[in-house]
Amino acid sequence: MWDKIFQAVDDLFDEMVNIRRYLHQYPELSFHEEKTSKYIADFYNQLGIPCRTNIGGYGVTATLKGGKPGKTVALRADFDALPIQEENEVSYKSKVPGVMHACGHDGHTAALLCLAKAVLPFQEQLPGTIIFIHQPAEEYAPGGAKPMIEAGVLENVDAVFGTHLWTDTPLGLLHTSKGNFMAGADRFEISIKGKGGHGAKPHQTKDAIVIASQLVTQLQQIMSRRIDPLKTGVVTVGTFEAGQAFNIIADSAKLVGTVRTFDANVQEKIIEQMESIIKSVCLPYEADYDFHYAKGYPPVVNHPDEAELILKEGKNVPGIKDTEEVEPSMTGEDFAYYLLEKPGAFYFTGAQKEKENYPHHHPKFDFDERALPLDAKTLLQAYRSYQEKHS
């Protein structure tokens, strides 16, 4: 049976590509995915697989109960896009100005939909139950996973698995780790309130750009000089907004950035040090400031047994050349919330392009579409292997 399902997935390759490219042309931002959600629900309705909609927002789940006893395994895909103007010149280029699928979520959706279509004819032979989770709003905290969980998507679920098409990983490889896999992702905003004036009379001002520039430099020293070097973390200032003209000294500036950690103690130490640095930099200038720190997604921490299942059994998936345990990534993912509730694992499915391979969240991001059936088949293998292990 399993070989037949693997073949059925491969036979749906063209449909996966068509779905992915359609979704790519009509991306929707986090918390605004109304049409994408409807597209997903319509797909399941046409298959005759029972589904629920508007779960914790625009979330969709579909439930396929097998004809044999077994565990309930959830498989998750996300479907939101990013506020990026696409620069690819392809036939499936985004038709929505300023919005783009620049992270592969269109591919995740296409793969999971076609996996459901592939297994449906074998329903009576399947053990247990598959819950197909289609999650909105992964890209922007507070994210879509938490409200879907609060709405009950993990009730009676025994394990949960998810994958991300990953262009840093070569096609045919699976990457994961047993434990910390992706970092917790926080957001901060610092507003400096100085005193503006004429560019020729700086002594009469409190230059917000100078103050903010010192902050950028000193914030980078938190990890290098104030945190145990055996610990891991990232402090990144992503945007610097200030100034109106070349001859005017700015009266205000705003810094927005992210902090990435695996350790709650390191996270608290960074917050404490940021407060201290901001205060000490602003004080000599008699400048005021506002500091807002929002704790975002927790770290993605895989359960060892389920991660080992991916590493061991993933090698048996047709088209997968090898699996590798890798060092954790400082990128973040709200799949973390599922793993706080249930056993499971998250992993990367290699989707690196042979030429012109751009990173995630880049205006020219794209992935090798040959990874789509691998995405689907590895999720199938995770479900299969979990059933066999716990039968």
Active site members:
80, 138
- Count other C-beta atoms under 10 Å from residue 241's C-beta: 12
The CA-atom distances, in angstroms, between 208 and each of 189, 293, 328, 335 are 15, 20, 37, 39
Would you report the helix, strand and coil content of the chain in percent, each value rounded to 5? 35, 30, 35
**DSSP secondary structure string for all residues of 222-233:** IIIIIS-TTS-E
Cβ(100)–Cβ(80) below 8 Å:
no
Q: How many other β-carbons are positioned within 10 Å of the β-carbon of residue 33?
A: 27
Separation of alpha carbons 219 and 260, rounded Å: 13
Q: DSSP characters for 181-213?
A: EE-EEEEEEEEEE-B-EETT-GGGSB-HHHHHH
Cβ neighbors of 138 (< 8 A, separation 6 or more) are: 30, 78, 80, 105, 144, 145, 333, 334, 335
